[in-house]
Amino acid sequence: MKKRVKAYHNAEFINSKDARALRILAEYLEPKARFEEHGLEDTIVFFGSARAAPDSRYYQAARELAFRLTQWSKGLASKERRFVVTTGGGPGIMEAANRGASEARGITAGIGISIPVEQTDNEYITRGLSFHFHYFFMRKFWFAYLAKAMIAFPGGFGTLDELFETLTLVQTKKMKKPMPIVLFGTGYWNDIIDFDALVRHGTVSPEDLTLFHRTDSVDEAYDWVVARLTEFALARPGAML
């Protein structure tokens, strides 16, 4: 007699196109449960190239900035885990930010993605806070949903995708919460994206360029992010879209 298999134990079904909705839902519910288990409600997201070498100035800047923001967060009066440094979990800028937060003795998360060239999680992510996604849009949901600030270092297509999706959500007011966005590395960003040309061509408004702050200074980025988190997020607990 053939053994009967429950639907949720049927690997062939679970991995089929008919069960895609279940897999998408799993990438919402399983991370949600773990975030709640760790008391993680709001984050500072670092984006940037996986190719940044440890001796590069951007790697070192991301490491220092994550360290200082984590120290500041740990010094807040609230007993909750606030403003946890979160990255895509891989090498380069992601490793630098997780590393800085870890060196400040803070918890730090990595939200990874399965891609053809597999990347292992960097060693600085807090145990239990390493996530692995199949669907890019679910991964980006968790970046955006918990974030209270985003810092974009020089990066490639993935960094640009994450940056512009966030800018679109803020510009169209689909994201209701205040979202401080820093573009770190003015030479890179001015060379890669001519934001002023978008204004000249009438495709964005001049005020849209105030949706982000450009800088080359760790001190300036730190002061700017802390000031806005103090003004907005500390008075508005919890994630809200």
Mean pLDDT computed over 75-84: 82
Residue 241 has a pLDDT of: 47
Whether the pLDDT of residue 32 is over 80: the answer is yes
Confidence of residue 1 (pLDDT cuts 50, 70, 90): low
Residue 53 has a pLDDT of: 97
Confidence of residue 233 (pLDDT cuts 50, 70, 90): confident
- Per residue in 124-145, pLDDT (tens digit) is 999 999 999 999 999 999 999 9
- Per residue in 159-218, pLDDT (tens digit) is 999 999 999 999 999 999 999 999 999 999 999 999 999 999 999 999 999 999 999 999
Does residue 84 contact residue 44 with C-beta atoms inside 8 Å?
yes
Show the 3-state SS of 205-231: CHHHHHHCEEECCHHHHHHHHHHHHHH
Q: Running DSSP on this structure, what letter comes out for residue 235?
A: G
Burial letters for 170-202: b for 16+ Cβ neighbours within 10 Å, e otherwise? beeeebebebbbbbbbeebbeeeeeeeeeeeee
Structural domains in the chain plus CATH codes: 41-235 (3.40.50.450)
